[in-house]
Amino acid sequence: MITAGIDLGTQSVKAVILKDGEVISRGKAFSGFDPAKAAEQAVGEALKRAMLSLSDVNHITATGSGMDMAPNSNSTISMMGADAKAGVYLFPHARTIIDVGAEEARAVKCDDNGIMVDFIVNERCAAGAGAFIEAMARALEVKLEDMGPLSLKAERASPINATCVIFGESDVVTLIHRQESKPEIARAIFDAMADRVSSMVHRLGVNPDVVLVGGVAKDVGFVASLKRKLGVDVLIPEYPEYAGALGAALVAVKRVKKV
Amino acid sequence: MKETPKKEDVEYWRWQEYHRVFSEKKWKNKDIITAGVDVGSVGSKATIMIDGEVYSWGVMRTGSNSPDSAKKVLDWAMEGTGLRLDDFKYIVGTGYGRVNVPMANKAITEIACHAKGANYIWGPSVRTVLDVGGQDIKAIHCDETGRVTSFLMNDKCAAGTGRGMEVFADLLKIPIEKIGEVSLKVEEEPPPVSCTCVAFAKTEAMGLLRKGWSKEKVLAAYTHAMAIRMGNLIKRVGLEREFVITGGQSKNIGIVTRIEKQLGVKCLPMPDWQENGLDPMIAGAIGAALFGKALYEKAQKS
């Protein structure tokens, strides 16, 4: 049995192919102006790697903010539902799944079957999402991928009170004028963002094990800050940005069985 | 080391800095001379009052250092008056950087100062004051003496603030002082942008421009969304008439018109500040200087 999950995110589309419930391939494409086309590309890439064609797939489930635009999909699942499913599949003891993407952050509380029981979302504000790091990296004139490693070199924390991308940019400029070092400013940026995400998670309740997924989970700087703020260990899977697509593909397995 | 800006990088966000002295008024040593210094996150304002009447004021951009900005703006208000720092009987600091006003005898919150200042500018009938600052927006209720009875604020989010407007002025390459007018140059009001966050609204606006929307239409859609946000804040605190707007955005006719439409009431008309010198942007500094006079008189009595 072959199933596929597609996660149409604001920045990129991810696809995961499962064979009898096990991951056999992944694919990714930038959303750009045409998410439907990006979805086709991502699925096409994953299928090619698995040496399969679209007709071999029994069920495709879509998720993500653009899930309604997914071509060839048979069903959809909410982003929170997909996160819960993937979190518990990857780490059976997971009870809190935090997903930080390009434009949104959310936390999901789930039971031991990977069924979502509660969730909280930070939307319509860039401060708690990947967009914040991107904007701050630009202000600091540092490459996005260098931000995390740079922040780990900081010797101390120099707090900024920015909880808004727009004000954050001026705060960073102030710190530069004050001749703070770049590692310290980078750390301040991750601390401010982790503060926002962790206060959201605290409202939901921090139930171990805590799992972090989404593209921002690959940023070592953010992960270090989040661990400090939450005060618990945070588990991160090998391919955190594919968690949504994985969750959708797992849901597809159930839906095939039901038919 | 100062770089001269190239012609093509015009700073559309930058607003004019003003300075004004009522030279027909003369101060004497026995007068109660007070000053209010309002160091906001974006703009610094200073007002000098003689016996509780506005004598001079200055408005300039806040630098990265609050004490410096406070000193500069007060110096500017003092320019051409012959006043010296020790002529002041009392100086009150207010605004975001109020604790960093080195020459101040006391710091008072900008909420109290804006209510007091609005009462001075528009008179005792004012009950609701919407202060749109650089970094936050506040809806304030006050009584006939300008005393605060309740308030609500939206902080730490650029949506609806002056800073957010500056970001859009820059994006659309329209001078900040023109954006109100320009936003009204649409035949039909477009639906508001769906993103509240300025960072996302920027992305949305760029998409609309690519779709072929005119600058005016995009600005109207953004201004519309921001006016809804401000209007909702007023609705939450409750609208009591009379209603006025203070802070830099009180001069944004696009915002004012849309809030009036949303709430179904007219604001009290803005004073012709170029004529009488009562700029709604200095409401907080006026309030601070008035508190200074009251505090000085209280100290004299005891």
8 Å CB contact between B254 and B230: no
Consecutive H or E run containing A243: helix A243-258
Give the torsion sign (CA, A214, A216, A220, A226).
Answer: negative
CA distance A224 to chain B (A): 24
Question: Could you give the C-alpha distances from B184 to B160, B222, B240, in angstroms and in order?
Answer: 17, 12, 27
Quick check: helix, strand or coil at residue B19? strand
Residue A57 has pLDDT above 50, yes or no: yes
Q: N- to C-terminal Cα distance for chain B?
A: 52
pLDDT tens by residue, B78-109: 999 999 999 999 999 999 888 889 999 999 99
CA distance B41 to chain A (A): 10
A125 vs B135, B167, B197: nearest CB: B197
Under an 8 A CB cutoff, do B198 and A124 touch? no
Q: Which CATH superfamily is domain B18-118+276-301 in?
A: ATPase, nucleotide binding domain (3.30.420.40)
B64 vs A103, A164, A177: nearest CB: A177
Quick check: helix, strand or coil at residue B145? coil
Residue A217 has pLDDT above 70, yes or no: yes
Give the type of residue at A255: R
CA distance A47 to chain B (A): 32
Question: Could you give the C-alpha distances from B194 to A92, A200, A204, in angstroms and in order?
Answer: 38, 23, 27
8 Å CB contact between A116 and A81: yes
pLDDT at A123: 72
Written as six digits, the tokens of A90 are 């990857």
pLDDT at A126: 86
pLDDT tens by residue, A86-140: 999 999 999 999 999 988 899 999 988 888 999 999 877 888 899 899 989 988 8
pLDDT at A54: 94
Distance CA A25, CA A43 (A): 10
How many residues does the structure list for chain B? 302
Q: Provide mean pLDDT across the span A153-162.
A: 80
Residue B199 with chain A: CB contacts under 8 Å:
126, 131, 135, 165-166
Question: If we measure between CA atoms, which residue out of A74, A76, A116, A114 comes closest to residue A94?
Answer: A114
Mutate to test the interface with B, among A166, A178, A199 (most CBs of B within 10 A): A166
A164 vs B64, B157, B195: nearest CB: B157
Written as six digits, the tokens of B73 are 């703006």
8 Å CB contact between B239 and B259: no
Q: How many other CB atoms are there within 10 angstroms of residue B177's CB atom?
A: 15
Residue A124 with chain B: CB contacts under 8 Å:
195-197, 200
Under an 8 A CB cutoff, do A165 and B167 touch? no
Half-sphere exposure of B140 (CA within 13 A, CB side): 29
Consecutive H or E run containing A146: helix A144-151
**Which residues of chain B have a Cβ shorter than 8 Å from any chain A Cβ?**
41, 64, 135, 156-158, 163-164, 167, 195-200
- Supply the Cα-derived Rg of chain B in whole angstroms: 19
Written as six digits, the tokens of B241 are 């008439």
| Strand A234-235, strand A96-100: pairing | unpaired
Residue with structure tokens 């605004």? B95
Q: N- to C-terminal Cα distance for chain A?
A: 13
Asked if the domains at B18-118+276-301 and B126-267 fall in one CATH topology, the answer is yes
Half-sphere exposure of A42 (CA within 13 A, CB side): 33
8 Å CB contact between A29 and A41: yes
Distance CA A51, CA A25 (A): 10
A172: nearest CA in chain B?
B64
8 Å CB contact between A237 and A83: no
Residue with structure tokens 């005792």? B124
Distance CA B6, CA B2 (A): 12
Q: Provide mean pLDDT across the span A225-246.
A: 96
Q: How many other CB atoms are there within 10 angstroms of residue B194's CB atom?
A: 11
Instruction: Let me know if domain B126-267 sits in CATH 3.30.420.40.
Output: yes
- Helix, strand, coil percent content, chain A, rounded in steps of 5: 50, 20, 30
Question: If we measure between CA atoms, which residue out of B190, B191, B171, B188 comes closest to residue B179?
Answer: B171
- Every domain of chain B and the residues it spans: 18-118+276-301, 126-267
DSSP A28-84: EEE-TT-HHHHHHHHHHHHHHHHT--GGG-SEEEEESTTGGG-TT-SEE--HHHHHH
CA distance B207 to chain A (A): 9
pLDDT at A45: 96
Question: Could you give the C-alpha distances from A163 to A81, A196, A199, B42, in angstroms and in order?
Answer: 28, 7, 12, 17
- Rounded to whole angstroms, the maximal C-alpha distance in chain A is 64
Long-range contacts of B203-208, Cβ-Cβ distance < 8 Å, separation of 24 or more: B205/B168, B205/B171, B205/B172, B206/B171
- Supply the Cα-derived Rg of chain A in whole angstroms: 19
* Cα-based torsion angle of the residue sequence B153, B168, B219, B249 in order, rounded to the nearest 10 degrees: 40
Give the type of residue at B271: P
> Which residue numbers in chain B have pLDDT < 70?
1-9
pLDDT tens by residue, B48-80: 999 999 999 999 998 877 788 999 999 999 999
pLDDT at B28: 87
How many residues does the structure list for chain A? 259
Phi and psi torsions of B222, nearest 5°:
-70, -50
Domains of chain A: 1-91+239-259 (3.30.420.40), 93-236 (3.30.420.40)
Distance CA A35, CA A14 (A): 11
What sections of B142-269 are H helices per DSSP?
A: 162-172, 179-183, 198-210, 215-237, 253-263
A167 vs B64, B163, B196: nearest CB: B163
